[in-house]
Structure 1
Amino acid sequence: MTNVPETKTGRSLAFVLFIIERIKQNKGVVAALRRADNPATEYQCWEYLAAFHIDLEKPWVRLPFATVAAAVAKAKIEHNGSIGIGNAIARCYEDGSQSDQAKAKLRRLLACDSIEEVCRILRPLFSLIDARGGAVVDYARLLEQLLKFYWDSQRVKTEWAQEFYRYSQSSEKKEAV
């Protein structure tokens, strides 16, 4: 038996949908969840994480859930998206994955060595994506990747890089037509 946590898509998607429903029902939840990605105020979201049976004592479990909850609350989404984080970064720039700024953002994310660092680096990326991206991130898939990062960071980084470099402006234009 391994210590690798179970990270089924079902649980990640259920969590994202749980957060979306909570936000729709109570605007006070939005305020608490928006603060979940700040280490000084993260405790304000623990009530909602605990309601979903998240182990608050394990930062490699708690931080991914808190980060995604904050991102969902700030993005004000109605449903989970379909865009990977690498692809979402590329979409923020006119030149897509060819943009030097986009490459710098991706490189910074790929340079992370811990789940704490990844969650800290994602915070401004979510703001950028919300402001410029024009597409909704697949938060359930991102949550799965964050949960796996503690155990297999290299694989997760590879997935992010593939999402980023596979994005091209020409395929985006074809989809729009």
Structure 2
Amino acid sequence: MKVLSQSHERRLRIIESDYGRDFGWFVIRDGERIASLSDCQHEEMFWDSYIVEPMTDDPDLNRRLQSAFWQGDEWSGCEFVSREFPDVVVRHALPAASPILESGRLLLRGLYCSEVTSRPWDWLFMWWRKKAAIPARTRGAANNMASFSYQRQLQFCVSYCEDGGRMVGG
């Protein structure tokens, strides 16, 4: 039974993935994918680090992507495209002054999907989705009997929230 609209489902997936960080990013320069960023780890407030995986046939560029590329102005024309949602493009991310950590990871700030904002009721939907993903036999018989009412309650919440909080119908 489909309860959420496609756009609401997409927004929840982006929020659940830490605003796209968990899916990773492609680095695009002049319309060409030159690298993939994966395995996001939070380093400090506002700073995340990624593993850089070069994707070009140019061995010199591949080597620079692991170091000097991020320290000069060479990166400034790059766009970051979500690996999961190709229409999500980030142009405002920037590397740190010393962007390559001792671990070889790239330190960036601002690489997240800022087009999506969470609404207060999104957390309710995400909780419900996680609860619904648990197999029925592990929840117990009492919850199996109540699952229909959960679906009806969620449908009401969705229609209420997508209508801007106004009561519709009677």
State the TM-score, normalized to the length of structure 2: 0.26
Greater helix percent: which structure? 1
Which one scores higher on RCO, CA 8 angstroms, separation ≥ 6?
1
Q: Which has the larger radius of gyration?
A: 2
